[in-house]
Structure 1
Amino acid sequence: MEENKIDVSVVVPLLNEEESLPELVEWINKVFVAENINGDLYLIDDGSTDNSWNIIVELKKKFEWIHGIQFQRNYGKSAALQVGFQAAEGEVVITMDADLQDSPDEIPELRRMILEENYDIVSGWKEKRYDPLSKTIPTKIYNAATTALSGIKLHDMNCGLKAYRKNVVKAIEVYGEMHRYIPVIAKWNGFAKIGEKPVQHRARKYGTTKFGLERFINGFLDLMSITFVSRFKKAPMHFFGLLGTLSFMSGTLAALWLLCEKVYLSINRLPIKREVVEQPLFYLALTAVIIGCQMFMTGFIAEMVSLNQPNRNDYGIKGRI
């Protein structure tokens, strides 16, 4: 093994966790020492308004293997994970929350499953949870919906305690609030060996949960978004073009039907009850043709935009140690 090569990088996004940080870092250090792991820790301060950053600076003085990144403002957990993934150099990258509900004692086994059982991702499964119903019920719904759409069978898709092979985190892009669906993103990027490990879940010791009701709605929107983007990001015309073609053809066929009907009645000298433009079907057909053209043009524009995508993951960083 190369000298100073990092075995495990632990990435911890945090927001106002000043009370739990010292205990968390000491616990991780204890695991590193006991298991002889050459590891490092990335603490990503997502715009905390308490004393979290100052505590990270003090902890860095004691533990050289700590890296701290401070955002200018709160960007969200996905942004923190993305920046942590970009910085991490460990052969195995492990994510966990900063609130002490995830146990660092799980690190050695998660590492072993990645290196020895050759998983691309190992997701934690909190068999016994200490979260309120407002958090556990949406999680169950998300898990069921995600399994149905992605085919990935995990009991706890949104568990913050996960392990990744290094090439996985370097290949995927996490933005918005897509952190809930990292296994889905990874699978659609070709990393299909995804495992699961029952992990200890602890009751929150300090502070309050950052879970809000808005995440219930955002979760479904994110699932729809990642499903669409993953399948049609490279070829949006396949989606918009198909819908546009179907709409255009149905409108055209309806208009032709009306015209053929009028011609037939005229040839056979039968009474024409209403002119073509007086029939509701004519306006429905016209609308379908217009929508079809718009959908097709949307697909064309999306194709052009996809060739010149701006960098989604530029975040204002206030400090770095």
Structure 2
Amino acid sequence: MSNSLSSHSPEISLNLPLLGPDISVVVPIYNEVESIPRLIDAIADSLKDTNLSYELICVDDGSTDGSVELLREKVAITPHLRAIFLRRNYGQTPAMSAGFNHARGRIIITLDGDLQNDPADIPMLLAKLDEGYDLVSGWRKKRQDAALTRLLPSKIANWLIGKITGVKIHDYGCSLKAYRSELVADMHLYGELHRFLPALAFIEGARITELPVRHHARQYGKSKYGLGRTFRVVLDLLTVFFMKKFLTRPMHVFGFLGILAILAGLFLGFYLTFVKLAFGENIGDRPLLILSVVLLLTGVQLFSIGLLGELLMRTYHESQGRPIYRVREAIEHKEK
């Protein structure tokens, strides 16, 4: 199916099935009662000229400011709107995961509910996705946030994430992204991994690009982010790094470290034995003896963790029917 925008918008041809909406727009909501009416209207305006069917999924993450009541009212009068109400405030990653699980479109768009992302950029992301990419990430090139508390930590985090994961894009934190639904189905979100979605997509073999998008200063409410999340970002980054390198082979890291520790402990043990037998020296009060024992015990523990990791990895993949590879395309010769 081929659809096109008006003359001022890029052409879009998503080749989507006839069943279900073409696009699912997923928006996590947490205390954004002032922004919701304008957000709904802005998304509708951005997609009205595309001739693509869409659904707007607002996932309320335990709001306490009247967002729940307003969403109920809007759902009753807005055909494309669906609302999902979580039982409490779980965080942006679970809210986004809930939106993914309820999305029915072949293309999934995500953006924040605070109107700092501009819904008018959605057609541009769709057109870029149609060039053959699996994920198009927004880049807030001219970001309208506080320099010290938001911009500087973000630049450092983006550089660090790019170095460690190997996925070098300018703005991991931008929520405005476009995904193919089959890619989202392969990614399982836990903790606070929503900011690492490009890296998780790369693990699944996705083709990724980014586009500069508009960014506006917050007009209503207050930001839910601060410097306090920096420590959590570092821990999540270590998780993503391990998943990228050793998800299907944990023994390669734990077993290797365990063998190194065991060999070091044995070397020190043989050395102390030689000193004792050859020179008759007392080794009972030497720190090296304690170090040798600690290294041997640590090595055995690391090796055991590697074995357990291998068993858990197999249980993880086999219980969910998840293959350890992803096929992009398969072709065969066809007789004329």
**TM-score normalised over the length of structure 2:** 0.85
Tell me, in whole angstroms, the C-alpha distance in 2 between the residues paired with 1:145 and 1:111. 28
Correspondent of 1:91 among 101, 106, 124: 106
Correspondent of 1:220 among 234, 240, 244: 234
Residue 304 of structure 1 deviates from its aligned partner by 3.5
Equivalent position of 2:196 in the other structure? 181
Equivalent position of 2:6 in the other structure? none
Residue 11 of structure 1 deviates from its aligned partner by 0.5
SS of 2:226 mapped into structure 1: coil
In structure 1, what residue type is equivalent to 2:214?
Answer: Q
Correspondent of 1:287 among 278, 286, 294: 294
Correspondent of 2:311 among 304, 309, 314: 304
* Greater shift in the superposed pair: 301-310 or 219-228: 301-310
Residue 4 of structure 1 deviates from its aligned partner by 5.0
Contact 1:92 1:166 in 2 (8 A): yes
Tell me, in whole angstroms, the C-alpha distance in 1 between the residues paired with 2:247 and 2:165. 16
Correspondent of 1:276 among 283, 286, 302: 283
* Deviation digits for residues 275-311 of structure 1 (CA, Å, limit 9, x no counterpart): 2323322221111101111212222333334445599
Correspondent of 2:270 among 243, 246, 256: 256
Tell me, in whole angstroms, the C-alpha distance in 1 between the residues paired with 2:253 and 2:156. 27
CA RMSD, 1 decimal: 1.8
Contact 1:8 1:111 in 2 (8 A): no
Residue 123 of structure 1 deviates from its aligned partner by 0.8
Equivalent position of 1:30 in the other structure? 45
Correspondent of 2:169 among 134, 140, 154: 154
Tell me, in whole angstroms, the C-alpha distance in 1 between the residues paired with 2:223 and 2:276. 68
Tell me, in whole angstroms, the C-alpha distance in 1 between the residues paired with 2:201 and 2:52. 26
In structure 1, what residue type is equivalent to 2:165?
Answer: S
Tell me, in whole angstroms, the C-alpha distance in 1 between the residues paired with 2:118 and 2:19. 26
Tell me the percent identity: 38
Of structures 1 and 2, the one scoring higher in RCO (CA 8 A, sep 6+) is 1
After the TM superposition, which parts of structure 1 deviate over 6 Å for at least 4 consecutive aligned residues? none
Tell me, in whole angstroms, the C-alpha distance in 1 between the residues paired with 2:104 and 2:132. 18
Equivalent position of 1:230 in the other structure? 244
* Deviation digits for residues 7-66 of structure 1 (CA, Å, limit 9, x no counterpart): 211110110001100110011111222222211111010111111111111111222221
Correspondent of 1:21 among 36, 45, 50: 36
Equivalent position of 1:81 in the other structure? 96
- Aligned ranges for residues 99-114 of structure 1 at < 5 Å? 99-114=114-129
Residue 254 of structure 1 deviates from its aligned partner by 1.1
* Deviation digits for residues 118-155 of structure 1 (CA, Å, limit 9, x no counterpart): 11111111111111121111110111101111121211
Contact 2:173 2:195 in 1 (8 A): yes
5+ long unaligned stretches in structure 1: 266-271, 312-321
